[in-house]
């Protein structure tokens, strides 16, 4: 089922069928369908990097297709669909569990996360500098933001790494995925709020960097991506995904934060 199939009916409609999702593999699938297949309060942490066309439409430079051809090919998520995913994430998180939601400047200024503030409270913000100037009608974008959302009750007692800076500098290799995110920061966050064997979920997994980080930290993972063209119809093994990341991502200059504690 595609994102459009869900939003065409209702973002909260029950899917017409439920795909069987496996743990600790890279697999194709619909984000909302994966989340609805999970039981209540089963996960300690979720990452969510929704893909939507709204930002490029708003900027309307006229050449975004040439600049970001790969990004523009990704299937879009409507705002109602994204909100429905966030509410499902809140349901599957354990009490006081965290959702790390990636957002760009436009989404942050528009405060999109406040639409689900009744079930996911914003408790922190990390600014990521990817050292790559992007587009912008005024200032040029250079990275994204990570909203740290928490399912109530809100507490800081389950956050164990107080050395994570609020401004994180890390290069990424966008040849892996147009929305590649900093694996060094992802690793630190997983270690900060989860324990071995805890479940980490990523319903819009992109290049499956969260899978790689979770497995190296001995956490369980479940996630999918609707647009990962590299994936066959069969789930990709942990060994294969880790080899791919080691070969294409963890090279000199990538996967390490600059000036951050290791």
- For 162-186, write each residue's pLDDT tens digit: 999 999 999 988 777 677 899 999 9
pLDDT in the model for residue 54: 57
253: in domain:
no
Q: Give the domain range for residue 66.
A: 3-248
Mean pLDDT of 149-163: 98
157 burial via Cβ count (<10 Å: 0-12, 13-18, 19+) = exposed
The answer to whether residue 260 scores a pLDDT higher than 60 is no
- The H or E element that residue 146 is part of is strand 144-150
Q: What pLDDT band is residue 69 in, cutting at 50, 70 and 90?
A: low
The answer to whether residue 153 scores a pLDDT higher than 50 is yes
The answer to whether residue 216 scores a pLDDT higher than 70 is yes
260: in domain:
no
255: in domain:
no
Q: What pLDDT band is residue 199 in, cutting at 50, 70 and 90?
A: very high
The answer to whether residue 27 scores a pLDDT higher than 80 is yes
User: What is the number of structural domains in the chain?
Assistant: 1
CB of 130 closer than 8 Å to CB of 170:
yes
Q: What is the mean pLDDT of the chain?
A: 81
76: in domain:
yes
Q: Bigger pLDDT: 262 or 247?
A: 247
Residues 6+ apart with CB under 8 A from 232: none
pLDDT in the model for residue 243: 59
38: in domain:
yes
261: in domain:
no
pLDDT in the model for residue 2: 45
258: in domain:
no
pTM, rounded to two decimals: 0.79
Q: How far is CA 262 from CA 138, 166, 167, 218, in A?
A: 34, 15, 15, 18
107: in domain:
yes
Stretch among 15-29, 140-154, 199-213 having the lowest mean pLDDT? 15-29
CB of 46 closer than 8 Å to CB of 92:
yes
Q: What's the CATH number where 83 sits?
A: 3.40.50.150
The answer to whether residue 13 scores a pLDDT higher than 70 is no
Q: How far is CA 121 from CA 107, 124, 203, 257, in A?
A: 16, 9, 19, 27
CA atoms of 74 and 196, how far apart (whole Å): 33
- Residue percentage of the chain with pLDDT more than 70: 70
């Amino acid at each position: 089922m595609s994102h459009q199939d869900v939003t065409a009916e209702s973002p909260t409609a029950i899917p017409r069928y439920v795909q069987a999702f496996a743990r600790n593999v890279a697999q194709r699938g619909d984000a909302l369908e994966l989340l609805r297949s999970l039981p209540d309060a089963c996960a300690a942490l979720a990452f969510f990097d929704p893909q939507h066309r709204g930002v490029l439409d708003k900027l309307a430079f006229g050449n975004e297709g040439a600049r970001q051809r790969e990004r523009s090919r990704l299937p879009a998520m409507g705002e109602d669909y994204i909100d429905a995913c966030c509410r499902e994430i809140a349901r599957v998180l354990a009490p006081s569990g965290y959702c790390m939601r990636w957002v760009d400047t436009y989404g942050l200024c528009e405060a999109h996360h406040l639409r689900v503030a009744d079930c996911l409270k914003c408790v922190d913000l990390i600014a990521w500098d990817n050292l790559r100037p992007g587009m912008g009608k005024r200032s040029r974008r250079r990275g994204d933001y990570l909203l740290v959302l928490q399912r109530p009750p809100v507490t800081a007692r389950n956050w164990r790494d107080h050395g994570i800076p609020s401004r994180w500098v890390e290069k990424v290799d966008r040849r892996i995925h147009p929305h590649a995110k900093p694996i060094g920061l992802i690793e630190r966050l997983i270690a900060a709020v989860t324990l071995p064997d805890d479940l980490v979920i990523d319903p819009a997994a992109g290049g499956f960097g969260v899978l790689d980080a979770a497995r190296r930290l001995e956490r369980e993972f479940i996630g999918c991506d609707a647009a990962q063209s590299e994936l066959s119809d069969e789930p990709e093994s942990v060994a294969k995904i880790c080899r791919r990341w080691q070969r294409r991502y963890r090279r000199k200059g990538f996967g390490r934060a600059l000036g951050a504690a290791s």
